[in-house]
Structures are given as C-alpha cells and as structure tokens.
Homo-oligomer: A and B are copies of this chain.
Amino acid sequence: MIRLSTKSQYGVRAMYEIACGYPDRPVSAPLISEKQDVPVPFLEQILTKLRKAGIIKSVKGPGGGYLLNGSPESITIWDIVEQLDGPMAITSCLDPQKGCVRIDNCVTHLLWKSLGNHLKDFLSTISVNDLVNGVILEKIGLEKAG
C-alpha cells in the first residue's frame, strides 16, 4: 500500500487551522486538537517539527498559539509532508542514507525515482491557501476529482 502517514495528514489539517488565523491570530494546540480530532500531545510533536522547520512560529502564554511563518500562498502541501515524513523516498533504495546496492542493474530504480518526482511536483502545486479557499477543485480539474 502506498500510504501517507497519519502524521502528515494531521499536519496538513493542523496547518489549515493555523492558516485560518492568518495573519495575526495565534491558534492554540488545544483548539486545533478539538477542531481536527488530533490528540494534543501527538499534535504538539507535529507542531514542534513544523516550527523547527520554520514553517510556523509560536507565541507563548495565555492567548498564545501558532502562526504561519509566511503567507498561505507560499507554503505548499509538499513543504508540510516533507518536514513531517521526509526525506521522502518511495523505496528504501532511494533513501539517501541507505543507497541502492543494485542501482547499476536495477530495472526499476528510475521508475521509482520518477514516481517520487511526480508526487513532489503535484504536492508542490497546492498551497495552504488553496486549502483554505477551497481552490483545489479548480486546480485539479473536475474530471479527476469525481
């Protein structure tokens, strides 16, 4: 099964909520948790990663929460997924840390590499703003969305 981790799914949904507070209203973890049905401690792990990646920033204290660290247009779904689950490698032999033993005579190496690139390209075309504005349908085209 090719499956996106729930961590990434939660992350994208969290980013949606944070984007709703753009540009100046911090969104707290408990609020995101409630709206998106994500356990707070798990959510905090996710938000910490995104913060360290510079995608969001945080405000402490009462009334605090998380804010986008850039415009909703500039942050793509790929940015989020890459930080949470990356470095993305469709197959383990594409994992930069492991390398491919069979690379020279592997008939499929190129195929998987290309698949990964396709995925990246697609997710890079969708921004958080598209999510908020529901622009996805237009970008994707109706014939595929059915």
Contact (Cβ within 8 A) B140 A110: yes
- Within the assembled complex, what's the spacing in Å between the Cα atoms of A49 and B71? 48
Contact B110 A145, beta carbon cutoff 8 Å: yes
Q: How distant is A87 from chain B, measured CB to nearest CB, in Å?
A: 9
Please state if A91 and B131 are interface contacts (CB–CB under 8 Å): no
Interface pair A107/B131, CB less than 8 Å apart: yes
Tell me which residues from 120 to 137 in chain A have a Cβ below 8 Å from any Cβ of chain B: 121-123, 126, 131-132, 134, 136-137
- The residue on B at minimum CB distance from A117 is B144
| A77 proximal to B (CB < 8 A) | yes
Q: Which residues of B contact A6 (CB under 8 A)?
A: 91-92
Residue pair A3, B107 in contact (C-beta under 8 Å): no
**Are A113 and B145 in touch, CB under 8 angstroms?**
yes
Q: Is the interface of A mostly helix, strand, loop or mixed?
A: helix
Assembly stoichiometry (copies)? 2
B144 with A114: CB separation less than 8 A: yes
User: Knowing A3-B91, A90-B4, A92-B6 touch, does A16 contact B118 (C-beta < 8 A)?
Assistant: no
A24 to B77, CA, bound (A): 47
Give Cα distance in the complex from A90 to B122, angstroms: 14
Provide the A5-42 mask, 1 if CB < 8 A to any CB of B, else 0.
11011001100100000000000000000000100000
Starting from the known contacts A1-B89, A2-B90, A114-B136, 9 additional A-B residue pairs (CB-CB under 8 Å) come to: A2-B8, A13-B107, A13-B108, A107-B131, A110-B140, A114-B144, A115-B119, A118-B144, A121-B144
